[in-house]
Amino acid sequence: MRAPVCVALLVLLLNDAENHQFSEEEMTDVRQRIKDMFYHAYNSYLDNAFPYDELRPLTCDGQDTWGSFSLTLIDALDTLLVLGNHTEFQRVATLLQDTMNFDIDVNASVFETNIRVVGGLLSAHLLAGRAGMELEPDWPCSGPLLRMAEDAARKLLPAFQTPSGMPYGTVNLLHGVSPTETPVTCTAGVGTFILEFATLSRLTGDATFEKAARRALRALWKTRSDIGLVGNHIDILSKKWVAQDAGIGAGVDSYFEYLVKGAIMLQDEELLNMFQDYDRAIQNYTRFDDWYLWVQMHKGTVSMPVFQSLEAFWPGLQSLLGNLDSAARTFQNYYSVWRQFGGLPEFYSIPQGYTVDKREGYPLRPELIESAMYLFRATGDHIYLQLGLDALESIERIAKTPCGYASVKDLRDHQLDNRMESFFLAETVKYLYLLFDPTHFLHGGGAEGDGSWEEGGEGGQCVLGAGGFIFNTEAHPLDPAALYCCSRHAEDRQELRHILLSLSQPLEKPASQSKPPTTQTQDPLRGQSDSIALKPGEKKTAPLLSCPVQPFSARLSILGQVFTDNT
């Protein structure tokens, strides 16, 4: 009888939550509490852990984890601006410019370095104008933070130099890929680059990054099973699947996320079609009663009837595609687990309704809060604000220490672990704050978009920051309008060069007898290494955005689904 009683209590709790409507005063109060949470963790990191990657909140010291980047500082940089702290943003951005060095003998995760370091620096670059930083004349197409992001990304490119185009999981930032590096990597480690790498290519005019990300995506696409699923780990050299469990959670999650967000940011039908094909297989083989299980990728038979905390991003992703009913039902399932434990365990057995052995921890992950933010923006339903308040109070009660916030080692008895991952400040706190600030500039501002617009590009010809930001999987916001702005300028310059070159040809000669421009004619053009233009002869393969901004009346107008403020 225990299970039915628990279910009944959860239903009552959820019904109570649905009935509460948050006032403006309550939301203001919650935002202040979230700010207090951020600064308790951030100041503890600065006082006790900097310049290490992460804070150890139980022993009040630091450790390097994913490299040696002062990772928490990079990850938290755009959160400072989200919270309105321009002064500290300027100080940290200047500090990073003066001290950051990627020429180090460190073995770094290609995936983590991309989403945290490259993504964090790109976001900070695109938000620098709002923080009052001094900008270069053609910002956002140039700038010191952009050059730092490009430098970091170039350190990752050797990992992509494989016969398949799929990258190794680890690269030495100084020496490249080790001869002993394993060729086995997870699916997400192959398919989670298009947002950052396409942003780099479109801002700088160097197509190398986007080409590498697309080649990896297309190679991975070709390895799907006959029933349309991909597994968890693949050998990038043989292209054989090593782990054949198919699902939407750990090891796979951000691959699907980047197909959708890449399609939105780049207006790319190829990426959208890939995801839609996957989604049909996912709904057909892995979905049961609005849960998503793990199945064998070739047969579709259930291999693990578990819910993983990383899967909680899925309702938010579904909302971007307009699948609100399905997203809301799945969110309620996941929310019921949160209410059961005060957090999401890493693994949760759906048949047993309890945690899985040795997977009882909660490292303060953001995914359910992330979905709540998207669903609240789409629906205005205050049930999602209730989840945010529950999360805030759970973390404060369970994870707070005198020296920051600690990962929860075991949700059953609330034992703590001596680690505060950088995503706590990059994602968890940021999504919480944005959930309770529906008029934030990252959402497009107020009803009229007050304070959301910026000028950018040469002569202020581009409109930037007017809503429609795309968050990478580490919650670093990227502005599609900036990509349009810089690639538009590059295309215009390229067209002008072709016109000038064609005018330099002798008009009296037939086209068949005309000679190509001489080396002397080409060299001055090629020598302009500081130009944002593409190299002569290069063309963008992905279509440009049709316009730099979305109208405010449909600021979540995505792929044909229009969600206004009144939805």
- Is 112 catalytic? The answer is yes
Token couple for 255: 């691959």
The DSSP bridge partners found for residue 472 are: none
The answer for residues whose C-beta is within 8 angstroms of residue 68's C-beta and 6 or more apart is 52, 53, 104, 106
- The annotation status of 330 as a binding-site residue, yes or no, is no
Among residues 53, 78, 112, 257, which one is catalytic?
112
Supply φ then ψ for residue 255, to 5 degrees: -60, -50
The residue type found at 530 is D
Q: Please check whether residue 124 is in contact with residue 82, taking contact to mean a CB–CB distance below 8 angstroms.
A: no
Give the span between the Cα atoms of 62 and 482, in whole angstroms.
Answer: 36
- Is 474 catalytic? The answer is no
Cβ count near 508 (within 10 Å): 6
The candidate with the shortest Cα–Cα distance to 221, out of 269, 259, 265, is 259
Q: Please check whether residue 301 is in contact with residue 349, taking contact to mean a CB–CB distance below 8 angstroms.
A: no
Scanning 286-323, the segments in alpha helix (DSSP H) are: 314-320
Among residues 245, 367, 421, 437, which one is catalytic?
367
Scanning 227-323, the segments in alpha helix (DSSP H) are: 253-266, 269-285, 314-320
- Is 26 catalytic? The answer is no
Q: Please check whether residue 171 is in contact with residue 246, taking contact to mean a CB–CB distance below 8 angstroms.
A: no
Among residues 253, 370, 427, 474, which one is catalytic?
253
Q: Is the dihedral of CA 434, 254, 125, 485 positive or negative?
A: negative
Among residues 268, 346, 421, 479, which one is catalytic?
346
The span from the first CA to the last CA of the chain, in angstroms, equals: 40
Token couple for 20: 């509460």
Q: Please check whether residue 277 is in contact with residue 230, taking contact to mean a CB–CB distance below 8 angstroms.
A: no
Give the span between the Cα atoms of 132 and 141, in whole angstroms.
Answer: 17
The answer for residues whose C-beta is within 8 angstroms of residue 17's C-beta and 6 or more apart is 383, 386, 387, 390
The DSSP bridge partners found for residue 561 are: 558
- Is 311 catalytic? The answer is no
The residue type found at 540 is K
Q: Catalytic residue numbers?
A: 112, 253, 346, 367
Query: Annotated binding site for Ca(2+): which residue ranges?
Result: 473
Binding-site sequence positions = 473
